[in-house]
Structure formats: structure tokens, C-alpha cells
Amino acid sequence: MTELRIAIVGFGKIARDQHLSAIAATPGATLAAVASRNASLPGLPHFATIEELLEKGPPIDAVSLCTPPQVRRAQAAAALAAGKHVMLEKPPGTGVAELDPLIAMAADAKRTLFATWHSRYAPAVEPARQWLAERRITSVHISWKEDVRVWHPGQGWIWEPGGLGVFDPGINALSILTKILPQAVFVTAAELAFPANCQAPIAAKLTLTDIGGLPISAEFDFRQTGPQSWDVLVETDQGRLTLSGGGRRMAIDGKTVAEAPDEEYRELYRRFVDLAATCASDVDLAPLRLVADAFLLGKRTIVEPFVD
């Protein structure tokens, strides 16, 4: 098998915490370079920008874009124009429409565009989807509450336009929701709480449904200082399914039936290697559409300023 030579673009917390080890553990993938203004990795070629990487860097086949979403569209376009496969960290962009030209570019260039949703690869998500497929779902509730100072320290971009605020982790829950339910869902109402000094929400409540009228509610909050929650509760005609730990554990009526270590990012890179082998793309925008509709429909309130 020919190794997929990958360059990481944007070498921040998520790249260090997840992408490095995932690439190292993925057969058929190798890390060939890093492009980042503020960080490098000993022993690897380093470049300040993706443009410098593409012009002066070593031979690569693909880029993994771990930069803030506000700049990913231009970086993806540059990489595709240079004939590289592209992996997009979540969310894939700051808007839905900006992805369409990239999808077309990838198709024309016969290159892979992979919009990743790492939480869909949590070990209990697929078992949950299979279990729900054989039952009648009566309601769904999402509780996704974490301390932003613990999980996103110093990441000022998250509070800027396009940074998504609490939807940066909240979109993970929506990616799970749209994976495990048998029908497409849509937002009917939203309440968004914006800190007085920020351009993105610190908390949100969503009301959703599907074409059959399924009641779905979601609560996202960045201000959680006690126990953290990344939970999806699904009531059915044959019991309650609970996905907890961001999709790592599945329980039926309180009894754990599926649990495994976190290998989400390894699964992402395995998928990327497979896609690149056939120059196929995988770009599901359903979670991003739900967030966009929440902003469109949301009632906004102003809360106390946020100080990191």
C-alpha cells in the first residue's frame, strides 16, 4: 500500500491532542509536514502558511485542516487546486453555501474532500443506530454541557463570527443525532444566549423534530462547572437508550450494553485513507445546516460578559 503523505495545517490543541497520535496509528498514513504560524514539531518540515507548504514543502498527497473554521474554505481551495486530498476538521466551514464550490472542485480534480464528524465514530454510536432502527422512537433529549475554560482555553476565535461558540462542541451532538435517527430532522425554535462581549453564543436551547413530528430537545451550555455532560437520551417503545461520554457508552434502561476506548480520530484517518485511495469524497452537511438554522431562527438574549 502506498503511504498517504499528510500535512497538518494549523497545529493547535486539537492537532496535538488527537491528530498526531491518530495519524501515527493509522496504516497507510504518515505525517510529512506541519504548517502553522505559531507551532512546529521537531524533526518535521515546518512552514508558516499553507501557501508556503504547497510551494516549498516536501512531496505530500493530502492536507488535514485543523485551523479555525473561518479560514478553512480558502485553505481547502488552495490545496485542491494543488491536487491534494483534503480533510476538514469539524465544523467544515463557517457557512453551508461555501462548501458547494469545494465539493465541485474536488470532483473536478478527482481528489477527496472529507468533512469529518469525529463524534459519529465514537464506539457506541453505530450500535445505537442499529438498536434504534428496530424500534419506535417517542422522544429525544440532548444534554451537552461543559466548562469552556477547561476544554477551550485561550481559543478566542471560538467567540468571533463563524466561531460557533457553544455550537463548536454542540455540533458534535447534532452529528450523532443525525447519524442515529432514521429520518432527517430540522430546527423549529431556538434560544441563544450571547455574552455581552462576544459574537457567538455561550449557551443554547433547540427544539427540533422530523417529518413525523418526533419531539426533540437539546441543551448546550459552556458554563458548566460541575459534572460535565455529553449525553443523548432516546425514549422508545422498548426502553430508554442513553448515549453518554460523547457516544462512548450506550445503556438500555440504565444497563451498559456497549462501551469502548476512544478511537474516533483513528477511525477518521482510516476513512480518509480509504477515500483517498479511490478519490471519493464524503461531505455530509446535515449537522452544519442545523446550526445555521438555529442562528436563523434563534431568539437572542444578552448575558454577562465572558472572561477567559
3-state secondary structure of 219: strand
CA dihedral 177, 291, 90, 101 (to 10 degrees): 120
Of the candidates 147, 148, 154, 12, the residue with the CA atom closest to the CA atom of residue 89: 12
Q: Which of 13, 56, 84, 90 is catalytic?
A: 90
| Secondary structure letter of residue 91 according to DSSP | S
For 202, phi then psi, to 5°, come to -95, -15
Judge contact between 69 and 164, C-beta under 8 A. yes
Distance CA 67, CA 90 (A): 10
Of the candidates 209, 204, 206, the residue with the CA atom closest to the CA atom of residue 186: 209
- Cα–chain center distance at 304: 28
Distance CA 249, CA 257 (A): 8
Distance CA 98, CA 217 (A): 28
Judge contact between 6 and 64, C-beta under 8 A. yes
Mark whether 110 is an active-site residue: no
3-state secondary structure of 2: coil
Look-up of cell digits 455540533? 171
Q: Which residues are catalytic?
A: 90
